[in-house]
Amino acid sequence: MNAQKILECVPNFSEGRDESVIRDIETVIAAVAGVRLLHTDMGKATHRTVVSFAGSPEAVVEAAFQAIRVAASRIDMQRHQGAHPRIGATDVCPLIPIRGMNLEEASQYAQRLARRVGEELGIPVYLYEASASAPHRRNLADIRSGEYEGLEEKMKQAEWKPDFGPQHFQPRVGATVIGAREVLVAYNVNLNTQSVALANAIAYDVREAGRPLKDPQTGKLLRDAAGEVLRSPGMCPGVKAIGWYIPEYGIAQVSMNLTSLGQTQLHEAFEACRKSAEAYGVLVTGSELVGLVPASAMTEAGRHFLKKQRRSTGVGDVELVRVAIQSLGLNSLAPFHPKERIIEYMIQDQPNPLVAMSLAEFARETASENPAPGGGSVSACVGAFGISLGAMVANLSAHKKGLEQHYERFCSAAEVAQSRMQELLNLVDEDTRAFNAVLAAFRMPKQTPEEKKARKKAIRSANLYAMEIPFRTMQIAEACLDIVAEMVEIGNQNSITDACVGALCLRTAVQGAAMNVRINSLTIDDEEVKARFLQKTTEIEQIAGEKVERILATLREKFQLDNI
């Protein structure tokens, strides 16, 4: 998906048993150009379905409107019963900024959608979260209080008049809550009990609101001077939680909404449930995610559990996600497929075609008669292999007996190495794209003065970019040598030669990229820019050479070798 701005929508529909209704909703969403349907999660016990889709803001708003329209025509709230709190056919419809936009801009789209739903569909709409029209409407739980059954009386109160649409109760559709919010993770932790009371006790311990305090003698709720119920604080800020029993699984769960991952991460909520459960003699047996999750939540969880095991955290995102899935027990109730459940994996730009190839395919493509990939792409690739060896030594050293005092240094080095390896891998394809851009510029028409001017400008821009890419390869590869040098100095002695091979690869990457910078500089007509690049290229090449010599000198000294 190449749109600069990406908005996600995660509407919750009060239907989890009739698949035909959900299929109709999915159909109208998928029919909107510029929208990608990401995930659908139907819950029979909760009688609720969560649908996730994303795309350009305008397309997402249109798809959301059509989905709400279909839900209003197919779902009759007068006959609805389910375990989850709800007030309408489309219970809540949040808009979430994913890329290229902020919460304020997303809120403008939410208000546009809310107005249209109210006016065109005749559904009462409440704005919430960042779009709330008043402080008491910001919290979804406050709007839902009383649920559908209490909505008719609630709407008669002045402070609970809808923001858009009819100001009186609509029995069939109820009401809809629309607003912009940050990413919310719906997350359930599984317990080895069927007791809702125990699940609620754990939920009280975990959720931000904590548990209401009672007079130990009378059993009545304690209140402050303003009449508010006094509460003991919960363990996890930004977390809402309740306990419930799921017949289809035969277990009780702590059902949570993580409203602010900056305050409480996925693994922190899991650990809090585990700690609380132990106090009640209950075991946490796994967990499940409802809908999608940001990649950062999974990778942070992976790092957390690796740190607990004193294993290196610099193992790459794929491995971090695998560790998170295993440690959180996300496969305990149903298979968890990262490519279907992680937002960034679902919403991503076109993959880098060269990097996506197997090693053999890449070699064959390079050996073909095509001029690209060429030396620039191969230099970046060699550099990626070089720093990957540095990451390997750091990871092998992190749990090595006798090197415990350097654990944090190894983790940090491996994490930085992973990041730089990815940068170099990106440059493999970017170098080829830059070369192709030069060819495309020269193929531009040049019949009219305007065409000649546009062509000249495009050629100049493409030539400059074709020089900037290998220069960037040089910069990254040279910086990577510091990590390799550290690993040769303090890393696992059995792997020092691997790190040194990495250093040689990185020097080759610098030298190969430098050659491309110099060749491409011949096409640059701005002498000042050209001179600046060439001077810096020489400096980086010299620094890289000196670093590699020091690394090899360390190797010779450690192993008393004279022939390296």
Q: What is the DSSP string of 244-260?
A: EEETTTTEEEEEEEE--
Inter-residue contact 41 to 291 (CB < 8 Å): yes
Closest CA to 426 of 373, 473, 389: 473
* Domain at 359-559, CATH from 1.10.580.10, 2.30.130.30, 1.10.3080.10, 1.20.120.680: 1.20.120.680
* Bridge partners, 239 (sequence order): 258
Tell me if 183 sits within 8 A of 95, measured CB to CB.
no
- State how far the Cα of 459 lies from the Cα of 455, in Å rounded to an integer: 6
Mean pLDDT on 537-558? 96
pTM of the entire structure? Answer: 0.76
Q: What is the chain's mean pLDDT, rounded? A: 94
Which of 91, 317, 431, 498 is catalytic? The answer is: 431
Average pLDDT, stretch 23-29? 96
Give 3-state DSSP helix, strand, coil % of the chain, rounded to 5. Answer: 55, 15, 30
Residue 240's H or E segment, with its range, is strand 239-246
d(CA 134, CA 126): 10
DSSP secondary structure code for residue 280 in this structure: T
What is the per-residue pLDDT across 173-187, written as a single tens digit (0 to 9) for each?
999 999 999 888 999
CATH 1.20.120.680 segments of the chain = 359-559
- Give the pLDDT band of residue 351 (cuts 50, 70, 90): low
Give the max Cα distance, the chain: 94
What does the DSSP assignment read for 457-508? HHHHHHHHHHHHHHHHHHHHHHHHHHHHHHHHHHS-GGGHHHHHHHHHHHHH
Q: What is the mean pLDDT of the segment spanning 524-551?
A: 96
Digit-coded pLDDT (tens) for 456-482: 999 999 999 999 999 999 999 999 999
Q: Which residues pair with 8 in a beta bridge?
A: 54, 96
Distances (CA, A) of 75 to 15, 37, 153, 168, 488: 7, 21, 22, 19, 66
State which of 200-204, 257-261, 341-345, 356-360 shows the largest mean pLDDT: 200-204
pLDDT at 350: 58
In CATH, 185-346 is 3.30.1130.10: no
- How far apart (Å, rounded) are the C-alpha atoms in residues 445 and 318? 45
Separation between Cα atoms, residue 197 and residue 202, nearest integer Å: 9
**Considering only 21-35, 120-134, 223-237, 532-546, which range has the smallest mean pLDDT?**
223-237
Q: Which tokens hold the place of 41?
A: 């999660």
Residue 84 confidence (pLDDT) above 90: no
- To the nearest whole percent, how much of the chain has pLDDT over 90? 84
Domain at 6-180, CATH homologous superfamily: Formiminotransferase, N-terminal subdomain (3.30.990.10)
Identify the CA nearest to 523 among candidates 437, 469, 474, 461: 461
431 is catalytic: yes
Whether the CB-CB separation of 383 and 476 falls below 8 Å is answered with: yes
pLDDT given at position 1: 41
Q: State the burial class of residue 171 (Cβ atoms within 10 Å of its Cβ: 0-12, 13-18, 19+).
A: exposed
Looking at residue 559, what is its pLDDT? 85
DSSP 3-state assignment of 295?
helix
Q: How far apart are CA 140 and CA 252, in angstroms?
A: 24
Which of 91-95, 190-194, 427-431, 558-562 is least confident?
558-562
Is residue 42's pLDDT more than 70? yes
The helices-and-strands tally (H runs, E runs) of the chain is 17, 13
Instruction: Output the pLDDT for position 561.
Output: 75
Rounded Cα–Cα distance for residues 303 and 560 (Å)? 38
Query: Phi and psi dihedrals of 24, rounded to 5?
Result: -65, -40
Burial zone of 318 (CB within 10 Å; 0-12 exposed, 13-18 middle, 19+ buried): exposed
What does the pLDDT average to over 433-444? 93
Question: Measured between alpha carbons, how far is 383 from 362 in angstroms, rounded to an integer?
Answer: 15
The verdict on whether 215 is a catalytic residue reads no
In the chain, ranges of CATH 3.30.990.10 domains? 6-180
CA–CA distance, 405 with 72 (Å, rounded to integer): 62
Out of 47, 80, 84, 267, the active site residue is 84
311 has a pLDDT exceeding 60: yes
Q: What is the pLDDT of residue 221?
A: 87
Task: Categorize the per-residue pLDDT at 114 as very low, low, confident or very high, splitting at 50, 70 and 90.
Answer: very high
Delimiting residues of CATH 3.30.70.670 domain(s) in the chain: 185-346
H/E run at residue 284? strand 284-290
pLDDT the model gives residue 92? 97
Q: What is the pLDDT of residues 235-260, one digit of tens each?
A: 999 999 999 999 999 999 999 999 88
Q: Residue 292 pLDDT more than 80?
A: yes
pLDDT band, very low/low/confident/very high, at 352 (cuts 50, 70, 90):
confident
- The pLDDT value given to residue 349: 60
Q: At what angle do helices 375-398 and 359-367 cross, to 10 degrees?
A: 160
pLDDT at 408: 96
